[in-house]
């Protein structure tokens, strides 16, 4: 409720039944805008001001036209031609925007974290020492700055930076004691242990990723870094459409992958649950008794203060870095092109831009 809440208008639900929310003629709004000309198969629609909104007189932008596009290249080209006033971009197009639209480029930290989920049903990828070897071989600063180069930042834990502060006013990750560090020598030591435990010299596994420019680049970077560990380690890469990748995760038809997770409420538990029994995208149900005990303590909110709860969450994040239930990679950035004609719109860490606060220059 601190960010957003979507109540159901019960009288409209009673009137429309299963049609409720299926198109714009069966939608109810209590916000600054109402949706028009929309159904689930359309890739364009409009928002128009809601005359019954409590502060309708203050809403300056009266109509917004939305258009779905298939790639950041299309987004960039539409903005370049003046066909749109705002759009989101990613990947290599961020660099192009830095050159052409420096004053209209908005790069903000975003509460979404990319990580590697490992298949614990697979003998190879459930090996902790192999996971640790891969994690230590990843230079997260290099990955964020030189591979992505889109404003993304190195992950410090499974919890994004800037989401919450501890009792002393420091960022959550300042209290995470087990750091995600780059150390190739340590990676080699862990790989040697994995070879011994798995009983074979040559080790291989497949890393799947979504078929976007950014995720392809990340997967190829991990593949290249693995070669630095040992010539006996072979990481193959396969790119899939996101929905197929999710299906593979759900069916345990994978060994390792890359994935992102964002939240809609400012609490680290939503990220810590990526590796808990209750985690909705803990696809392989990785569990650890010490980690789960911490999660259970965190969820027992009646018997702790907020400051104590944050400390428990920091301990859980530290333990997860150590145990590699998932391997954090980087924190996303939110990158938009916004015309200088539009004022008053910004991009928060959690949630979405508020057009009701915007205006025309």
Higher pLDDT, 281 or 124: 124
The model's confidence at residue 30, banded by pLDDT at 50, 70 and 90, is confident
* pLDDT given for residue 102 in this prediction: 94
Summarize pLDDT for 88-113 with one digit per residue, the tens.
Answer: 998 889 999 999 999 999 999 999 99
* Cα distance between residue 273 and residue 30, in whole Å: 32
Sign of CA dihedral 223, 229, 234, 235: negative
Phi-psi sector, 327: left (phi>0), alpha (psi -120 to 50), beta: beta
CB 234 within 8 Å of CB 204: yes
Residue with tokens 């790989």: 191
Q: How many CB atoms sit inside 10 A of residue 125's CB?
A: 23
Q: Give me the mean pLDDT over the 345-356 stretch.
A: 92
What's the mean pLDDT when you consider all of the chain? 94
pTM of the predicted model as reported, rounded to 2 decimal places: 0.90
Does the pLDDT value for residue 3 go beyond 80? no
* pLDDT given for residue 4 in this prediction: 67
**Quick one: which of 221, 257, 231, 202 has its CA closest to 138?**
221
In a 3-state reduction of DSSP, which class is residue 139? coil
The model's confidence at residue 117, banded by pLDDT at 50, 70 and 90, is very high
- What lies within 8 Å, CB to CB, of 229 at 6+ separation is 133, 134, 137, 184, 187, 188, 191
* Cα distance between residue 22 and residue 29, in whole Å: 14
pLDDT above 70 covers a percentage of the chain that reads 99
Does the pLDDT value for residue 5 go beyond 80? no
* pLDDT given for residue 2 in this prediction: 55
Q: How many CB atoms sit inside 10 A of residue 167's CB?
A: 12
Summarize pLDDT for 128-171 with one digit per residue, the tens.
Answer: 999 999 999 999 999 999 999 999 999 999 999 998 999 899 99
Q: How is residue 313 written in tokens?
A: 């969450």
The model's confidence at residue 281, banded by pLDDT at 50, 70 and 90, is confident
């Amino acid at each position: 409720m601190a960010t957003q809440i979507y109540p159901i208008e019960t009288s409209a639900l009673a009137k429309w039944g299963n049609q409720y929310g299926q198109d714009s003629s069966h939608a109810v709004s209590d916000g600054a805008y109402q949706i028009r000309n929309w159904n689930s198969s359309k890739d364009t629609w409009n928002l128009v001001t809601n005359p019954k909104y409590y502060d309708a007189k203050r809403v300056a932008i009266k109509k917004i036209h939305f258009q779905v596009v298939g790639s950041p290249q299309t987004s960039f080209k539409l903005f370049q031609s003046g066909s749109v006033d705002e759009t989101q971009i990613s990947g290599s197009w961020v660099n192009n925007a830095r050159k052409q639209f420096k004053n209209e480029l908005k790069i903000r930290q975003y509460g979404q974290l990319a990580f590697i989920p490992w298949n614990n049903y697979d003998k190879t990828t459930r090996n902790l020492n192999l996971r640790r070897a891969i994690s230590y071989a990843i230079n997260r600063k290099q990955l964020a700055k030189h591979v992505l180069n889109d404003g993304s930042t190195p992950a410090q834990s499974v919890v994004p930076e800037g989401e919450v502060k501890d009792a002393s006013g420091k960022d959550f990750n300042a209290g995470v004691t087990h750091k995600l560090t780059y150390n190739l020598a340590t990676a080699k030591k862990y790989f040697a242990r994995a070879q011994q435990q798995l009983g074979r010299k040559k080790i291989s596994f497949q890393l799947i990723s979504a078929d976007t420019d950014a995720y392809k680049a990340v997967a190829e970077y991990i593949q290249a870094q693995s070669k630095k560990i040992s010539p006996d380690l072979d990481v193959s890469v396969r790119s899939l459409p996101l929905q197929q990748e999710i299906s593979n995760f759900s069916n345990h038809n994978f060994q390792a992958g890359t994935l992102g997770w964002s939240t809609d409420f400012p609490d680290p538990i939503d990220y810590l649950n990526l590796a808990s029994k209750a985690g909705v995208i803990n696809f392989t149900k990785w569990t650890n008794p010490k980690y789960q005990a911490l999660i259970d303590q965190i969820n027992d909110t009646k018997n702790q203060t907020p400051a104590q709860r944050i400390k428990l969450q920091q301990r859980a994040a530290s333990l997860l870095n150590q145990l590699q239930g998932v391997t954090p990679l980087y924190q996303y950035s939110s990158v938009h092109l916004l015309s200088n004609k539009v004022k008053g719109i910004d991009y928060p860490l959690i949630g979405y831009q508020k057009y009701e606060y915007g205006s025309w220059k």
